[in-house]
């Protein structure tokens, strides 16, 4: 289905934060599609396309896995994991690479999980041997990995961690926070043996905020669907699973009204992603990420991740250089037409900023023009 | 702020179900606003306008009440009520006028409430003396009223019920499901002494689905904010209250990313509502509702509500006439360009249909043209 009309968004200050990102004209046009009943044939077709293609996005061919799209924020995905595939009292191991990993741990605790946290050094990931040791010491019902912690721009090696988990404690469910990774970092749901990956619409998937998107394995689902005591209503996989299966198979169903317009925009964005091809897209975004990091180095700036291996591809956290006042730099970039984000790691607030470079902005040349603006801003501030 | 661009939505099949409703061109155009950071000055201004004007929508001047807008469906509002202002084990009295009242009861039970339900006769409301008796017999922490049950189009007299509650059991919190009422039925939050009213964007508020909107009293909030044990994360009033207060006072804050585009559309819709004036709007919609019901009678059709006093103003449930096959009628209306909804009350499935007549469709003449289509369709089917 094409976008409902030709739309070219007006010139505006570019949002180069790690989400919400800039959106393509067609995605935004799809947000303005006229009203459709949530059980109309048109919308059922849209939602079916979305659910079928989520399988491709998560690289799953296992018919027993299931994708979900709910109205909500990425945060809601934490609640879904905590209330459906973890029972109160069960032990969960959280690998922390920053603010968002810690918040996930907090959410798990609210719902009664017994949480242990291994915290990485700032700018680094949790070493594999530490994870192995801990899994050998203690039996965990689940482990959580924040694929990319948006507060530090550190990327964890989900494949390697999953391998360790499978080796030492194969029954431990692997839960991945993919909020800042799905659509820009590679994720092999089946091949790596993942059980639950959650994300949000406004990051690399390239759709306005408002959708909580997640993907569950057969064994995660089996645990959720066989729970004796329901511990959640809106976030219940028991309630949503038949709904998603119905839409994916081409019929309507109702639990709560889906966000028709935003899901239509998600369809448009998935069409754009698969028109390029997922692997090609990941490569394009990685290349732009490398270029951006090279430019940062060229400008004598230092990134927060300890080395390129642990540096994410969808955003980069950069220390303010000595002699430059952080707020002044952000203001100058703002004047030149770019919004970037301040740093939010508790120990480093005010010391760094974060630039999102994923999705549409990579293709529209926004990052290239931003690099120039950054260079000029630094020059002007050092004069 | 005007809509981001001039947009006239294309001709399309009109969605005259009880939500999602048809949306104005400007509301849809606002859905396509270019990306803004959730903490950008532009978006803070938008969200501030929305939160300030929710006070007017709920007719509250008490500075200690608070409005909320979360990414989610109306259903999420049930979770918010059940997990924040009711403690596990507390007794709750549910007044049931249909499918949605019963689902709310189910949600409350999931979170541990001890629920008693008084079920009205089909097409009627729960009699005031029955409510009074029950409140005298038993101490309830809260009572829930489904203002308009979308399954039956029955409207409860929230003012009269609240008066009874204040008289017999003033400490009982009054929770109102206003999903199919806010924006089309009168609600006097302060004057009637309500404690929690929840709604969704896609009904009479006139905005695409994706927002859970609710409003809390000082005493509901005080209970929520002083809870010893947190029982929810994403739906937590403890976590959202400082965020809403920040945005309403003109500064950004973060718990989970708000749905920037849909909230911008909500601002546009509130501007439209208050340009007409809320009371005038309610009167316009009530007049159209009366006209529609008169037309229904003229066509020898019978509505599901027992009498006009308990018939809602935003939608009408109508029995299929004898000798007319329900699906044939819905199909014929579809061919003429109108989507209406089937009936979902368990005991009456297949026996009635539901027509939404709220918001934009009242103003754009959709209801008038639908009346003609209904008349013609019936004629054609009876030939």
Asked if A32's CB is within 8 angstroms of B15's CB, the reply is no
Nearest-CA neighbor of A108 among A95, A124, A126?
A: A95
Note whether B112 and B196 are same-domain residues. Answer: yes
Is residue A4, in this structure, part of any structural domain at all? no
Average pLDDT over residues A166-195: 98
Where do we find the tokens 């008693």? B116
Residue A114 has pLDDT above 80, yes or no: yes
Q: Which two tokens stand for residue A219?
A: 């064994």
**Which one of A32, A232, A255 has the shortest CB-CB distance to B31?**
A32
Asked if B23's CB is within 8 angstroms of A15's CB, the reply is no
Q: What is the CATH number of the domain that holds B303?
A: 3.90.1150.10
Ligand-binding annotation for A239, yes or no, is no
The length of chain A, given as a count of residues: 383
Q: How many CA atoms lie within 13 A of A51 on its CB side?
A: 27
Q: What is the ipTM of this complex?
A: 0.98
DSSP B348: G
Spatial separation of the C-alpha atoms in residues B101 and B87, rounded to whole Å: 20
**Which one of A21, A32, A110 has the shortest CB-CB distance to B29?**
A32
Residues 115-174 of A with CB under 8 A from B: none
Is residue B9, in this structure, part of any structural domain at all? no
| pLDDT confidence of residue A12 | 96
* First vs last C-alpha separation in chain B: 53
Note whether A175 and A111 are same-domain residues. Answer: yes
Note whether B41 and B176 are same-domain residues. Answer: yes
Q: Is B321 on the interface with A (CB under 8 A)?
A: no
User: What backbone torsions phi and psi does residue A228 show, to the nearest 5 degrees?
Assistant: -75, -45
Asked if A259's CB is within 8 angstroms of B208's CB, the reply is yes
pLDDT one-digit tens code per residue, B257-281: 999 999 999 999 999 999 999 999 9
Which of B6, B210, B265 best probes binding to A when mutated, by most A CB atoms within 10 angstroms?
B210
Average pLDDT over residues B364-376: 97
Q: Is A209 on the interface with B (CB under 8 A)?
A: yes
CB B117 within 8 A of CB B166: no
pLDDT one-digit tens code per residue, A257-302: 999 999 999 999 999 999 999 999 999 999 999 999 999 999 999 9
Chain B neighbors of A111, CB-CB under 8 A: 233
Angle at B282 between CA B155 and CA B183, to 5 degrees: 70
Angle at B210 between CA B305 and CA B216, to 5 degrees: 70
Note whether A225 and A293 are same-domain residues. Answer: no
Note whether B196 and B289 are same-domain residues. Answer: no
Which one of B275, B300, B317 terminates a domain?
B275
Spatial separation of the C-alpha atoms in residues A248 and A68, rounded to whole Å: 10
Q: Is A110 on the interface with B (CB under 8 A)?
A: yes
> Residue B286's domain spans which residues?
14-21+277-382
How far from A197 is each of A246, B160, B241, CA to CA, in Å? 21, 48, 29
Taking the CA atoms of chain A, what radius of gyration do you get in angstroms?
Answer: 21
Q: Cα distance from B370 to chain A (closest Cα, Å)?
A: 16
Average pLDDT over residues A137-144: 98
Pairs of CB atoms within 8 A across A/B: 204
How far from A138 is each of A105, A166, A196, B146, B350, CA to CA, in Å? 17, 15, 21, 48, 56
Average pLDDT over residues B321-328: 95
Cβ-proximal residues to A322 (8 Å cutoff; 6+ apart), any chain: none
The length of chain B, given as a count of residues: 383
Helix axis angle for B260-276 and B41-57, nearest 10°, is 40
Note whether B183 and B299 are same-domain residues. Answer: no
Note whether A145 and A294 are same-domain residues. Answer: no
DSSP A49: H
| pLDDT confidence of residue B4 | 65
**Which one of A21, A35, A209 has the shortest CB-CB distance to B20?**
A35
CB B94 within 8 A of CB B118: yes
User: What backbone torsions phi and psi does residue B215 show, to the nearest 5 degrees?
Assistant: -140, 130
Residue A3 has pLDDT above 80, yes or no: no
Nearest-CA neighbor of A185 among A150, A151, A216?
A: A150
**Which one of A17, A82, A233 has the shortest CB-CB distance to B107?**
A233
Residue B148 has pLDDT above 60, yes or no: yes
Q: Is A337 on the interface with B (CB under 8 A)?
A: no
Q: Is B26 on the interface with A (CB under 8 A)?
A: no
Q: What's the mean per-residue pLDDT of chain A?
A: 97
Q: Is B262 on the interface with A (CB under 8 A)?
A: yes
Q: Is B225 on the interface with A (CB under 8 A)?
A: no
Nearest 10 degrees: Cα torsion A52, A56, A61, A67:
-50
**Which one of A14, A22, A79 has the shortest CB-CB distance to B233?**
A79
Average pLDDT over residues B112-134: 98
Chain-centre distance for alpha carbon B311: 15
Residue B247 has pLDDT above 90, yes or no: yes
* H or E element in which residue B286 lies: helix B278-298
Spatial separation of the C-alpha atoms in residues B230 and A112, rounded to whole Å: 10
Residue B2 has pLDDT above 60, yes or no: no
| pLDDT confidence of residue A324 | 94
Which one of A223, A257, A275 terminates a domain?
A275
Which of A35, A44, A106 best probes binding to B when mutated, by most B CB atoms within 10 angstroms?
A35
Chain A neighbors of B354, CB-CB under 8 A: none
Average pLDDT over residues A143-147: 98
Which one of A228, A257, A275 terminates a domain?
A275
| pLDDT confidence of residue A1 | 44
Note whether A65 and A168 are same-domain residues. Answer: yes
Q: Quick one: what percent of chain B has pLDDT higher than 90? A: 97
| pLDDT confidence of residue A6 | 87
CB A197 within 8 A of CB A77: no
Taking the CA atoms of chain B, what radius of gyration do you get in angstroms?
Answer: 21
Residues 68-97 of A with CB under 8 A from B: 70-76, 78-79, 82
Residue B166 has pLDDT above 70, yes or no: yes
Note whether B166 and B198 are same-domain residues. Answer: yes
Which of B4, B21, B28, B32 best probes binding to A when mutated, by most A CB atoms within 10 angstroms?
B32
Spatial separation of the C-alpha atoms in residues B232 and A108, rounded to whole Å: 10
Q: Is B359 on the interface with A (CB under 8 A)?
A: no
Is residue B193, in this structure, part of any structural domain at all? yes
**Which one of B5, B74, B260 has the shortest CB-CB distance to A257?**
B74
Is residue B270, in this structure, part of any structural domain at all? yes
DSSP B344: -
Residue A158 has pLDDT above 80, yes or no: yes
| pLDDT confidence of residue A90 | 98
CB B189 within 8 A of CB B197: yes
Residue A142 has pLDDT above 50, yes or no: yes
Q: Which two tokens stand for residue A234?
A: 């809106």
Spatial separation of the C-alpha atoms in residues A340 and A358, rounded to whole Å: 13
Note whether B215 and B88 are same-domain residues. Answer: yes
pLDDT one-digit tens code per residue, A354-376: 999 999 999 999 999 999 999 99
Note whether B82 and B186 are same-domain residues. Answer: yes
Q: What's the mean per-residue pLDDT of chain B?
A: 97
Note whether B254 and B175 are same-domain residues. Answer: yes
Chain B neighbors of A22, CB-CB under 8 A: 34-35
* First vs last C-alpha separation in chain A: 53
pLDDT band at B3 (very low <50, low <70, confident <90, very high): low
Is residue A303, in this structure, part of any structural domain at all? yes
Q: Is A37 on the interface with B (CB under 8 A)?
A: yes
| pLDDT confidence of residue A383 | 75
Q: Answer positive or negative: Cα dihedral of B197, B199, B204, B207.
A: positive
How far from B296 is each of A278, B90, B267, CA to CA, in Å? 54, 44, 35
CB B155 within 8 A of CB B308: no
Pairing of β A352-356 and β B196-200: unpaired
Q: Cα distance from A56 to chain B (closest Cα, Å)?
A: 25
Residue A201 has pLDDT above 90, yes or no: yes
Residue B95 forms beta bridges with which residues? B118, B145
DSSP B312-324: -SSEEEEEPPTT-
Is residue A324, in this structure, part of any structural domain at all? yes
For chain A, how many structural domains are there in total?
Answer: 2
Spatial separation of the C-alpha atoms in residues A141 and A78, rounded to whole Å: 16
DSSP A270-311: HHHHHHH-HHHHHHHHHHHHHHHHHHHHHTT--BSSSSGGGB
pLDDT one-digit tens code per residue, A46-57: 999 999 999 999
Average pLDDT over residues A327-332: 97
**Which one of A17, A21, A71 has the shortest CB-CB distance to B72?**
A71
| pLDDT confidence of residue B46 | 98
pTM: 0.98
Average pLDDT over residues B220-245: 97
Q: How many CA atoms lie within 13 A of B288 on its CB side?
A: 26
Chain B neighbors of A21, CB-CB under 8 A: 35
Spatial separation of the C-alpha atoms in residues B234 and B213, rounded to whole Å: 14
| pLDDT confidence of residue B302 | 97
Is residue A7, in this structure, part of any structural domain at all? no
Instruction: Compare all CA atoms of chain A with the CA of B32 and give the residue at the minimum distance.
Output: A28
Q: Is B341 on the interface with A (CB under 8 A)?
A: yes
**Which one of B22, B36, B261 has the shortest CB-CB distance to A31?**
B261
Angle at B61 between CA B57 and CA B67, to 5 degrees: 55
Chain B neighbors of A28, CB-CB under 8 A: 32-34, 261
| pLDDT confidence of residue B1 | 44
Average pLDDT over residues B362-367: 97
Is residue B5, in this structure, part of any structural domain at all? no
Q: What is the CATH number of the domain that holds B264?
A: 3.40.640.10
Average pLDDT over residues A184-210: 98
Spatial separation of the C-alpha atoms in residues A356 and A349, rounded to whole Å: 18
Spatial separation of the C-alpha atoms in residues A224 and A107, rounded to whole Å: 18
Spatial separation of the C-alpha atoms in residues B349 and B343, rounded to whole Å: 5
């Amino acid at each position: 289905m094409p976008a409902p009309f030709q739309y070219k968004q007006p010139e505006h200050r570019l949002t180069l934060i790690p989400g919400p990102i800039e959106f393509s004209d067609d995605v935004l046009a799809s947000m303005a599609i006229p009203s459709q009943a949530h059980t109309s044939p048109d919308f059922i077709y849209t939602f079916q396309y979305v659910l079928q293609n989520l399988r491709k996005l998560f690289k799953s061919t296992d018919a027993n896995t299931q994708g979900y799209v709910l109205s909500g924020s990425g945060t809601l995905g934490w609640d879904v994991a905590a209330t459906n595939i973890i029972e109160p009292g069960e032990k969960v191991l959280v690998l922390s690479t920053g603010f968002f990993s810690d918040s996930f741990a907090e959410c798990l605790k609210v719902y009664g999980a017994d949480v242990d946290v291994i915290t990485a050094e700032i700018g680094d990931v949790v070493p594999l041997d530490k994870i192995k040791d801990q899994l050998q010491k203690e039996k965990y019902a689940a482990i959580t990995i924040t694929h990319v912690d948006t507060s530090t721009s550190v990327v964890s090696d989900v494949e390697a961690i999953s391998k360790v988990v499978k080796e030492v404690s194969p029954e431990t469910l692997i839960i991945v926070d993919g909020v800042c990774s799905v659509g820009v970092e590679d994720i092999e749901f089946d091949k790596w043996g993942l059980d639950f990956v959650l994300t949000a619409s406004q990051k690399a998937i390239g759709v306005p905020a408002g959708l909580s998107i997640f993907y569950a394995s057969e064994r995660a689902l089996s645990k959720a669907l066989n729970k004796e005591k329901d511990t959640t209503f809106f976030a219940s996989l028991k309630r949503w699973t038949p709904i998603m299966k119905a839409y994916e198979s081409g019929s309507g169903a109702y639990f709560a009204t889906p966000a028709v317009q935003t899901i239509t925009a998600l369809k448009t964005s998935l069409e754009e992603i698969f028109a390029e091809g997922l692997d090609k897209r990941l490569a394009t975004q990685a290349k732009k990420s490398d270029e951006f990091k090279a430019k940062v180095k060229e400008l004598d700036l230092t990134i927060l991740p300890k080395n390129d291996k642990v540096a994410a591809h969808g955003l980069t956290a950069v220390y303010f250089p000595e002699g430059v006042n952080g707020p002044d730099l952000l203001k100058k970039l703002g004047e030149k037409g770019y919004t970037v984000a301040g740093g939010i790691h508790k120990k480093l607030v005010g010391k760094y900023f974060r630039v999102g470079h994923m999705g549409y902005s990579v293709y529209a040349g926004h990052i290239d023009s931003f690099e120039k603006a950054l260079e000029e801003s630094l020059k002007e501030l050092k004069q």
